[in-house]
Each structure stands twice: as structure tokens, then as C-alpha cells.
Amino acid sequence: MLVSSLLVRKHFRRCWSWIPVVVAAIALLSPGVARAQVWNWKSEDVDKSAGATSIAVDADGNVHVTYGTDAAEWKYAFRPAGTSRWDTTVLAPGAVNYVNLALDSAGNPHICSTLHRLKYAEFNGKTWSIQDVAPDASDIQYSCSVGVSPDGTPHLAWYKVENPDKTSYVHLKYASLVDGMWVARTVDFDTQTGKWHSMAVDSKGVPHLSYDAYVDGRMKYATWLKDAWSVHVVQARIPGDPEYNIGMGNDLVLDAAGHAHISYYTTHELRYASEAGDRWNVQTVDQVRSNGGWVSYRSAVVLDKSGNPHIIYQDGSSEKHAYWDGKAWHVQLIVPSGPDGNRFASLAIDKNDVLYVSYRDSSDGSLKVAIGTPRAAPAQTAATASPQ
């Protein structure tokens, strides 16, 4: 169920006084006044049920969604630009616990899914092809990610839980398709890396990965440099800090200059990190509540035409939209809490800064897409710090 948006003024510093205002009518005022935008939201019904979801919008405005269902099917939905009609296709039988979708330069979808196996689906404009990428008996779970180079080369990353002999592995793996073969390598042998991870492929075809090193309390970022991964620590656990867990539910996007922007959770906070040369600017965006289990830590980040970040994230069993207007963070409630605990949300943005959020409904478990359309807002308060 979609509710009217609620706009909340938030300083990025740790002052947790929330001041709610009605989006359509009221703005917060202070001596620093700035013009901004707000996003008005509506929802569309897509399917009767959904688990994990991933969404993308192509250059023509067509919307693509992949998802699992309560009926143990892996599916794909397509909405042509300018319509509200959703066409759905069953990609394969069987439950999935994670999906990820990326589009190539022609707007064709490339998708991965996991639940003990890693599957990759590709649409060539006419037909689907689906394959097992790691066909041995290794246990693959929790998350996968897919990216596509400008030349059409697909890239995959996944979390390998066990070896074929059932011994523990728990590391992030990566592969690219070379001459029809998947060439795989381990990204990082730090303790338990990549249970939560995300991938982006830049304009030169270079893969970039954000991922957690959960046990050691690190949020990490890796870039492939010719023949090895260049690994950087975005943020590390501080002894005695209550934010003990670092890097859960992370998501990565690259800006036009190739700089990384990452959203992620700590124990009680949603954070945002932006790459600035050899350092990282890190901000606290919001305080959050866990809903229990790894799936409740799920964020997604995109950049609008001005380069400002938008983050979709689960807080308890609700779903929120946080955005930076150039001077301050604001938060909107998109999906309220309900009896169904997990939203499995994903986020995309089109060339007109319209936001698309796929999610599992909190009341009936159905698949919905929330559409956020920007409009000019009254002058409102702005802090002076920048997230860039």
C-alpha cells in the first residue's frame, strides 16, 4: 500500500530530531534558503506476489523488473514507455532469494538469480537464454550482481557460501564472459567478504564492486586494474562504537566522472559514502531499525541529473526514500509498515529524474512499482555540507 509522502528535514550530523512536514504544502525554513524538488508518489500493480526484486529503466523509458514469487518462480515484467500495462514472463521454475538486473546499450536485460545455484539470463531482443554459471555443487546464496560493458560483455559477482565438498568458503566471486567461457576469480580473501555486494561497470568496461567484510567490520570497494583487484576500505569499525556492523545492504553507482557513490547500513544507521580522490566522504543519512535477518538490510542508490544521490532503503518493515537536494538530506515514507515484514525493494531513475521502486507490498505481498515524479518545492532549509 502506498501512502502520501511525508517529507522529513534531516541534518547529516547525528542530531535525531525529526520534524515532519506535509510534502505538498509545507517546507522548513531557516536563514539558508534554497530551491529544491520533492517527489510525488503513486503505485502500480504488477503481479500477485513478489520476493526479491530488481528494476531498471532503459533510454526509451521502458521499465524492466525481475523478481521471485511465492509460487516459486523466477519472473520478468516489462512495461512499455507511456503505458501502465505490465507484461510478465516466467524465466524459470524454482524459488530465488536474490535477483539483479542490468541493461545493455540496446536496452536488453541481463539478470542473475541465486538460491543455492547461480543462474544468468540474457535477452537478445527476441529470445531468452538461461544458464547455470557455476554448475558444480558449490552453495551460492544471499546476493549476486550483474553488469554489462559498453561492448556487451557481461560481468557477474556472487557470494559463494561453500565449496563442493561442503567446507566453508564465504567469499565474493567475480566472473566475466571471455570467448564464451566464464572466467572466475575470488575478489577478496578477507574474512567473510561480499554477503552484501553490488557491481557497476564503467564506460571503459571496468568492473567496480562494493562489498562488506562483515566479521572484520569493514565496508570495502574494489576496482579491477588490468590483472588484479585494487581494494580500498571505505569505512572500518571503530572500537567501542555502537555501530559495530559495517557495510550491510550496500549498493553502488558511478557518476559521470567514474567516482563511486555507495549506500549501506551499520547497526543502527543508513550511511552514504562518496569517493573524493584518495579518501571517502561518509555521512549518516538516517537511523534505522532492523526487521530481523539479512534481507531487511537492503538499500539502493541512484544519481539524478544534478548528480545528487537518492537512496531507497528498508527501515523496520517500511520503505523510505532519502535524497540530497544539494544542501540537505530529506526523507520520504513510501511504503508503511505492515504485517508482511520485508520489502525487497530496488530503485531506478530515468532521464527525467522520475524514480521507479519495485517492492513487495507490506499488506498482501504483491509486486508493486512506486513511481516518484519530481516537482519544484517551496524554498526550504538547507545545511551547508556537501555529500560530494
Domain spans in the chain, listed from the N-terminal domain onward: 6-86+160-381
The C-alpha cell at 315 is 527501515
Record the cell numbers describing residue 98, joined without a space. Answer: 536474490
| Per-residue model confidence as pLDDT tens digits over 331-342 | 999 999 999 999
- Identify the band that residue 136 occupies on the pLDDT scale cut at 50, 70 and 90: confident
pLDDT category at 19 given cuts 50, 70, 90 is very low
Instruction: Kindly indicate whether the domain formed by 6-86+160-381 is annotated with CATH number 2.60.40.
Output: no
Between 22-31, 86-95, 222-231, 304-313, the lowest mean confidence (pLDDT) is in: 22-31
The whole-angstrom separation of Cα 318 and Cα 339 is 10
The upper half-sphere exposure of residue 138, i.e. CA atoms within 13 Å in the direction of its Cβ, equals 21
Over residues 225-250, the pLDDT tens digits come to: 988 999 999 999 999 999 999 999 99
Give ∠ CA 324-11-40 in degrees, rounded to 5.
40
What pLDDT, on a 0 to 100 scale, did the predictor assign at position 383? Answer: 41
CA distance 243 to 386: 23
Cβ–Cβ < 8 Å for 98, 113 = yes
Rounded Cα distance between 178 and 138, Å, is: 22
Q: What is the pLDDT of residues 101-120, one digit of tens each?
A: 999 999 999 999 999 999 99
Asked whether the predicted pLDDT for residue 183 surpasses 60, the reply is yes
Q: Tell me what pLDDT residue 17 has.
A: 32
Q: Are 313 and 263 in contact (CB under 8 A)?
A: yes
59-68, 136-145, 212-221: least confidently modelled range: 136-145
State yes or no: pLDDT of 380 exceeds 60: no
Per-residue model confidence (pLDDT) at position 30 = 29
Tell me what pLDDT residue 282 has.
98
Lowest mean pLDDT among 11-20, 339-348, 370-379: 11-20
Q: Name the helix (H) or strand (E) containing 103.
A: strand 98-103
Q: What was the pLDDT predicted at 75?
A: 98
How many CA atoms within 13 Å lie on the side-chain side of 149?
14
16 pLDDT above the threshold of 90: no
Please give the model's pTM, rounded to 2 decimal places. Answer: 0.89
Give 89's strand partners: 76
* Average pLDDT across the chain, whole number: 89
Rounded average pLDDT over 211-233? 96
Does pLDDT of 3 surpass 50? no
How many other CB atoms are found less than 10 A from the CB of residue 207? 23
Longest dimension (CA), the chain: 64
Bridge partner list, 224: 229
What digits encode the pLDDT tens for the residues 341-361?
A: 999 999 999 999 999 999 999
